[in-house]
Amino acid sequence: MNSSFQKVHYDKPSRGYWLRELFYSVITLRFFVGLVRLIGYYAVNCVISRQQAHIDKSSNVHPTVIMRQPERIVIGKHCSINHNNIFQAGKACASITLGNNVLTAANVMFIAYSHSWDDRTVPIMDQDCYDASILVEDDVWIGHGATILAGVKIGQGAIVAAGAVVNKDVPPYAIVGGVPAKILKFRNE
């Protein structure tokens, strides 16, 4: 055993302890301020955004999906968008368009902009952004935790592996994976 480890005794807190902590946290002003902020965040990013995005009625979008700049987000017919997906359309003009029968796993991100870093005399946070639209064609499956970056087109029938970072176009029926995503094979092989 490494000499930097030290053996300690740990007593698991009782249920009574956690109930007391819960009670005392609920009766504070900080709890109510946090609750109001959480409700506002959910209303803006999950409820209002669904009203502004163009989502076909036959598509299923999980309630935890976050959509920023939703007026530039289009989701086609018979799509299934899983929980915790993030759609970040461009800051000024770039859109995110999903075709028909697109399937996403959990925690997929679509980011249609990138921060500028051109001027070293200005902090990156204060520089402008680059917008570039994302297009996902019909019958595409995007795996868990994948990230689709600005300016990417994913061709019809393609599969994006879990955890992939897609920064270049994906040809039709290609299976891509890795960081950055590379073609692993084609579905018809």
Active-site amino acid positions: 115
Q: In sequence order, what are the beta bridge partners of 136?
A: 98, 154
HSE-up of residue 109 (Cα within 13 Å, Cβ side): 13
Q: Give burial (CB, 10 Å; 0-12/13-18/19+) of 171.
A: middle
* Listed residue (104, 182, 110, 99) closest to 149, CA to CA: 110
Helix runs in the chain, H state only = 15-26, 29-42, 49-52
Q: Give burial (CB, 10 Å; 0-12/13-18/19+) of 181.
A: buried
Tokens of 1: 């055993």
Tokens of 178: 């890795």
- C-beta separation of 154 from 148 below 8 A: yes
* Listed residue (150, 181, 152, 149) closest to 164, CA to CA: 181
